[in-house]
Structure 1
Amino acid sequence: MNILHLDSAITSDASVSRKLTADIVARLTAADPAASVTYRDLNEGVPAIDTTWFRAVRVGTDNPTPEEEARVETSDRLLAEVQDADTLVIGLPVYNFSIPAQLKNWLDQIARAGVSFRYTAEGPEGLLKDKRAFVAYTAAGTPIGSDLDHASGYLRHMLGFMGITDVTFVPADGLAMDRAAGMARAQAALEQIAA
């Protein structure tokens, strides 16, 4: 099993989502000691897509500039990590009711027509199939699945759009109101994870 472990929290060692992603990876590797893990901290920087990225990655040029070559290389590397993975473990701390900017940047980098999805006569088809994802959802005050939660549904949609439809959330929500209850919900979800 190849695991891609992604963190995106800005709170460093105080992050609950980082603790939960580490716990998920520990459960998976305990069940499969031969598993390999690729770790990426999205908080260390994922470039936002822009006009240069569009020209280089989506359009392509015959004579790319060094900057355009760098954009393609970054996008290709991020996408290859997903293509090589059987299992994704994603930290999803909720900021201002949605996903962190660095996680959105990562999704934008890997959502590439003809590579991670394609358009067909029947509609879009995800090309990153036969993978599963575990998402550590953490929020101080945004209950998962509530009208205020613009994070979990969006991430589930984007993963599914690219073919990753086996998505399990490990929620630790309501942490500002009742931290113990939020962590208990997460622990109960962790115990349901089977490699």
Structure 2
Amino acid sequence: MSQTILQLDSSITGAQSVTRKLTADIVARIATPGGTIIQRDLADGVPAIDGGWFAAVRQAPDQPTAPQQALIDISDAYIDEIRNADTLVIGLPVYNFSVPAQLKNWLDQIARAGVTFRYTEAGPEGLMTGKRAIVAMASGGTAADGPVDFAWPYLRHMLGFIGITDVTLVAADRMAVDAEAAQSTARDSIRALAA
């Protein structure tokens, strides 16, 4: 069965990026014949949310102004890519123990009450269910899921918050300690992935 993959890269290091290589390898591993691959390079820039964004998307004006509609359209485009995907492949370079700013901006753009999650008496409920995500993490010295890793736990939480709970980590962590071993571990994880 063909599937649609959304590949999200966020590394600012271009061709030298370990996460970009990992996301490409993951997509090559899981892509199905006749499937679709949507590529989004978040390093090209994702607008940060601000008061104008909040007024446009959260206060839900019945007749948004043209500038408000432009802000809504940007957020909607990111959300539509998720909605149309079966699998998200997300590059997660760790910068200063956390996610890159452009990836954080994307998460802020897609976390919209009533669209990707809703509030219930039992707490928030994610609305983007039935999808899986594979996260390709690379770090210099931060151990994945270690005490100072604020990137992977945060991203995993945010994906679950919008309803994506089938999340797999492919980690090439602590590259500054042993790059060869880190990449070998990541390659083994990729080989173990099912399409």
Question: What's the TM-score, normalizing by structure 1?
Answer: 0.97
- Give the aligned residue type for 1:43: A
| 1:17 equivalent in structure 2 | 19
| 1:73 equivalent in structure 2 | 73
Superposition deviation, residue 15 in structure 1: 0.1
User: After superposition, where does 1:1-195 map in structure 2 within 5 Å?
Assistant: 1-29=3-31, 32-195=32-195
Which consecutive aligned stretches of 4+ in structure 1 deviate over 4 angstroms post-superposition?
none
Gaps of 5+ in 2: none
2-structure distance, mates of 1:47, 1:186: 31
Identity of aligned residues (%): 58
Superposition deviation, residue 24 in structure 1: 0.4
2-structure distance, mates of 1:177, 1:165: 31
- Give the aligned residue type for 1:25: V
2-structure distance, mates of 1:124, 1:66: 31
Superposition deviation, residue 144 in structure 1: 0.1
Superposition deviation, residue 61 in structure 1: 2.3
2-structure distance, mates of 1:183, 1:70: 41
Superposition deviation, residue 66 in structure 1: 2.4
Alignment RMSD, CA only? Answer: 0.8
Superposition deviation, residue 126 in structure 1: 0.5
Deviations 1:146-182 (Å, cap 9, x if unpaired)? 0010000000000001100000000001111111011
Superposition deviation, residue 63 in structure 1: 4.2
Superposition deviation, residue 62 in structure 1: 4.0
2-structure distance, mates of 1:49, 1:21: 26
Gaps of 5+ in 1: none
Q: Secondary structure at the match of 1:176?
A: helix
Superposition deviation, residue 60 in structure 1: 2.3
2-structure distance, mates of 1:42, 1:126: 23
- Give the aligned residue type for 1:66: A
- Give the aligned residue type for 2:19: S
2-structure distance, mates of 1:127, 1:62: 23
1-structure distance, mates of 2:69, 2:161: 27
Superposition deviation, residue 122 in structure 1: 1.1
